[in-house]
Amino acid sequence: MTLPFIEKAADFLVEARHEQIGADAIAAAKEAFIDYIAVALGGVGEPVSKNILGWATERSWGSSCAVIGRVDRLDPENAALCNAVSGHALDFDDTSWSTIGHPTTVVAPAAIATGEMVRASGREVLSAYLVGVEVSHRLADISMPFVSENGWHTTGVYYAIGAAAAASFLLRLDRRTTINALGLSISRSSGVRSNFGTQAKPYHAGMAARAGLEAVSLARAGLTASASAVEGVDGFLDCFAGDRSAYFERMDQMIFGKPFDLVSRGLAYKKYPCCSGSHPACDVMIELVNEHSLKPEDIVSIRVGASLLAERELVCHNPATPQQARFSMEFALAVAVSKGSLGLDSFRTEVLEDPEIRGLMGRVRLELDDELAKLGFIGTAPVKIDITLRNGQVLRAARDLAIGNPERPFTDDDRRSKFMMCASRLLDQPAAEEVYRELQAFDTWADIHEGISAINRWLPLTSGV
């Protein structure tokens, strides 16, 4: 008989050793970490990050762990909460198509905070991140796409267990305690897509990171949980994905870490600080604007044929705030036409209120494309665009994948440019360059506590942002 999912995962975590993890997996994890540090530095000054930090500071019971981009130090659970929220505040963090969610902004903060507690090396923290994401993505293998189809925000659903797995690995918990930690974390899986466009969405990431560490802490204190919390009656599969019997065959075939999902399927890195559902369309629009020297006054209408998920995620058709604008196809394409690019400075109130932008938004029509809908609930957001011009010409284009996907990877210049864009919100050019250089050696750091502290030493001498 097949072992329950949680027992399989616990065996994997207890037996895993960082020395046995291959160079390709460590390299993939390091790329994800550097991208995460970038977006956390960029997002720490956002209103949601400040709100969460104020709340967490009042409740923190320690000061052992860093808040990235701040001089503040908190207990592990609250540091992970704050760092995860900052990493997701801009909606600029990486995406996994295994979950149609955001792994690194949850699992990396949990691994960093736990690593600081045990003074783990950079490689050990990267290994913890890898095994944590692996557990989350194998859970997705037996439950997607149904979780996303049912309206759940998968970041909050899948990565609490990933955070717990990463911490369990670093703490070298025994099998029984690991089972309890993973089982407890399953009870904290949550987050609804209805909250997109509000501060609740980045909170989902922080909630999952904190919940994972809390589950580990409770398991270490002796709390128990069911080893069958995933596939048991009224367990994760029944509640989130429907009939659990449909997944037993997938579970029989499941293997952890051979290869790691982060290597075999990879991650999609974002070129634009907004919902990934708009990214293929943004790529196409910017290319057409440049190719045809398009001006706002040239355009009569823009029809966007979207996939199932893009239609469900891009819910803010007339955004009133920068947070809502990140989930608006209309806004993203209007800025792409007006400015020829889409960056951090695009998502400001003055841009949102620009009459030219508002006028262009009114000419964008987002609708479900029948052909793309037949592809099912996929995260890559393939798109078709028809642009009608005032001279009567109609420009047509389609795109299956955005830049930043494994099939269309970032260049080294793309990675560096994104890092500098984000870091420049806090650091001057020389400091940002030095932090980027230091992060290239993340896997050789002897002590994650010293490494993260070294990054924060480049900050201005203030706890404010």
pLDDT, tens only, 432-452: 999 999 999 999 999 999 999
Shared domain for 97 and 180, answered yes or no, is yes
Burial of 337 (C-beta count, 10 Å sphere; 0-12/13-18/19+): buried
Long-range contact list for 343-352, CB < 8 A, 24+ apart? 343/272, 343/273, 343/421, 344/42, 344/90, 344/92, 344/273, 344/421, 344/422, 344/425, 346/273, 347/90, 347/273, 347/274, 347/322, 348/322, 349/321, 349/322, 352/319, 352/320, 352/321, 352/322, 352/325
Residue 272 has pLDDT above 70, yes or no: yes
Cα Rg of the chain, angstroms: 22
Q: What is the mean pLDDT of residues 350-359?
A: 98
What pLDDT was estimated at residue 243?
66
Is 158 inside any structural domain? Answer: yes
DSSP sequence for 309-373: HHHHH---SS--SHHHHTT-HHHHHHHHHHHS---GGGSSHHHHT-HHHHHHHTTEEEEE-HHHH
pLDDT band at 252, cuts 50/70/90? confident
264, 294, 313 — which closes off a domain? 264
**The domain spanning residue 301 has which CATH number?**
3.30.1330.120
Residue 242 has pLDDT above 90, yes or no: no
Q: Count the domains in the chain.
A: 2
399, 424, 453 — which closes off a domain? 399
Shared domain for 355 and 253, answered yes or no, is no
Structure tokens at 396: 């047509």
Is 57 inside any structural domain? Answer: yes
**The domain spanning residue 48 has which CATH number?**
1.10.4100.10
pLDDT band at 112, cuts 50/70/90? very high
Shared domain for 70 and 154, answered yes or no, is yes
Shared domain for 233 and 124, answered yes or no, is yes
- Cα–chain-centroid distance for residue 170? 22
Structure tokens at 47: 């209103």
Shared domain for 148 and 214, answered yes or no, is yes
What pLDDT was estimated at residue 462?
46
What pLDDT was estimated at residue 247?
74
- Cα–chain-centroid distance for residue 437? 23
What pLDDT was estimated at residue 423?
97
Q: How far apart are CA 316 and CA 347, in angstroms?
A: 14
What pLDDT was estimated at residue 377?
86
> Tokens 């966007």 map to which residue?
304
Mean pLDDT, the chain, integer: 96
Q: What is the mean pLDDT of residues 126-153?
A: 96
Is 450 inside any structural domain? Answer: no
What pLDDT was estimated at residue 304?
98
What pLDDT was estimated at residue 250?
78
pLDDT in tens, 390-431: 999 999 999 999 999 999 999 999 999 999 999 999 999 999
What pLDDT was estimated at residue 150?
92
If we measure between CA atoms, which residue out of 10, 77, 99 comes closest to residue 215? 77
234, 264, 294 — which closes off a domain? 264
pLDDT band at 463, cuts 50/70/90? very low
% of the chain at pLDDT higher than 70: 98
Q: What is the mean pLDDT of residues 343-357?
A: 98
Which comes out higher in pLDDT, residue 458 or 385? 385
Q: How far apart are CA 423 and CA 150, in angstroms?
A: 36
Is 423 inside any structural domain? Answer: no
What pLDDT was estimated at residue 136?
99
Shared domain for 314 and 181, answered yes or no, is no
Shared domain for 292 and 248, answered yes or no, is no
pLDDT band at 464, cuts 50/70/90? low
Shared domain for 194 and 336, answered yes or no, is no
Is 409 inside any structural domain? Answer: no
Residue 465 has pLDDT above 80, yes or no: no
Shared domain for 118 and 52, answered yes or no, is yes
Which comes out higher in pLDDT, residue 460 or 350? 350
What pLDDT was estimated at residue 1?
53
Which comes out higher in pLDDT, residue 75 or 376? 75
What pLDDT was estimated at residue 2?
80
Is 424 inside any structural domain? Answer: no
% of the chain at pLDDT higher than 90: 92
What pLDDT was estimated at residue 244?
66
Is 457 inside any structural domain? Answer: no
Is 269 inside any structural domain? Answer: no
Shared domain for 251 and 295, answered yes or no, is no
Shared domain for 91 and 190, answered yes or no, is yes
pLDDT in tens, 173-194: 999 999 999 999 999 999 999 9
Residue 253 has pLDDT above 90, yes or no: no
Shared domain for 289 and 165, answered yes or no, is no
Q: Which domain holds residue 23?
A: 5-264
